[in-house]
Amino acid sequence: MKEKKFAFLVHPRGFEDFLIKFPWFRFLPESVLYFLTMHMPPVVVSKITGLKNKDGKKIDGYIIAITMTARQMIEHRERALKKIKQATKLAEKKGVRLMGLGALTASFSRGGLDLAGFSKVGITTGRAYTVKTVTNYVKLVMEVMGFDKEKIVVDVVGAAGSIGSSSAKVLAEYGIRNFILIDLEYKAWKVEEYIKHMKKIRGDLSFKVSHQISDIKDADIIIAATNAPEVLIKPDDLKSGAIIINDAQPSDVDPEVLKREDVLVVEGGVVNTPGIRSNFKLGLHDKEDNFCCMGEVLILAHNNLFKDYALGELNLSLIKNIEMMSENLNFKLTKTQNSNGIIDNKKIERVKEIIRNRQ
């Protein structure tokens, strides 16, 4: 009997990502790049190495990519789903029996529901372990900066989405009281629905629901977790001492924000996976740093769970379950980083001082 394999599905955030794998196309006109990325079939871009199952046996894994960029996927949703399904069939031919969905591929397959039963490949969205990791970064920042649970204001940008809504619920359970929940105006009903549920669990919660990104000005910590293809958070949107936990791929944060010396942008969707490497340029600090949505498929494969997990709306019990299953792998939060690299301790202390003086 052949050994079961796993895979992680990705797509380029923009043409720059596509050219990492195909550098010889660098000098082509953008119109030609657009055509290529729209029409190329899914490809295997690397082999994931170092994962073993509970019995100590090596498990082979792959990173598989569809070549459509984030913006192309949003502009051509039906084609994007078709490419995702093609990638699933490619994975099946490679002997894959479990595939994790990275970046926008989960949203564009209705949280993996469009792929359930489509092939012999089990599907997981990565959302359970992502929420666990993102909220752990929030807790870490609160501890380092000395925030008070009763006073801190946490903003979720992309609050109607699975990551955003589940992160709010986890942090409410943790003891945070004050939330600003931001999403598109037509999604406000969805945010209001889960607020009703949260208030039944804890009556002392305070919420502001908005569709204006400018309302993050009142937040101490911002979780950025949208599916937008362009940046949403600009330098002038943030108060001094604000901290962004960025989980969006493509990023929700304007690169100019990183130049501000009085705010922090922390990559919140990454985890260190000792001994396990993607062997692909993901733009992270360490060769054993990986996106936590990939971390979820690693955990499931390690535990020999080659079946669907965390599809559709996220059940919070799955977050606790994936955390328990990850214990043998010793995954941990990465060194504090963002797209500019490791965050300097001097900058952390500078922002900490601003927060201390305000309190």
| Average of per-residue pLDDT across 112-123 | 96
Q: pLDDT tens digits for 55-76?
A: 999 999 999 999 999 999 999 9
Q: Which long-range contacts (CB under 8 A, 24 or more apart) does 209-216 make?
A: 209/159, 209/181, 209/182, 210/180, 210/181, 210/182, 211/182, 211/183, 211/184, 211/185, 212/182, 213/157, 213/182, 213/237, 215/155, 215/180, 215/182, 216/155, 216/157, 216/180, 216/182, 216/242
Q: Say what the pLDDT of residue 1 is.
A: 53
pLDDT of 276 strictly over 70 = yes
| Main-chain dihedrals φ then ψ at residue 123, nearest 5 degrees | -125, 140
As a dihedral over the C-alpha atoms of residue 195, residue 198, residue 204, residue 209, rounded to 10 degrees, the angle is -20
Q: pLDDT tens digits for 73-92?
A: 999 999 999 999 999 999 99
Q: How far is it, in rounded angstroms, from Cα 155 to Cα 246?
A: 12
The pTM of this model reads: 0.94
Q: Say what the pLDDT of residue 249 is.
A: 84
Q: How far is CA 278 from CA 5, 8, 240, 272, 283, in A?
A: 14, 10, 36, 11, 11
Q: How far is it, in rounded angstroms, from Cα 304 to Cα 299?
A: 9
Q: How far is it, in rounded angstroms, from Cα 197 to Cα 117?
A: 31
| Average of per-residue pLDDT across 197-203 | 86
Angle between helices 345-358 and 127-145 (to 10 degrees): 70
Q: pLDDT tens digits for 119-166?
A: 999 999 999 999 999 999 999 999 999 999 999 999 999 999 999 999
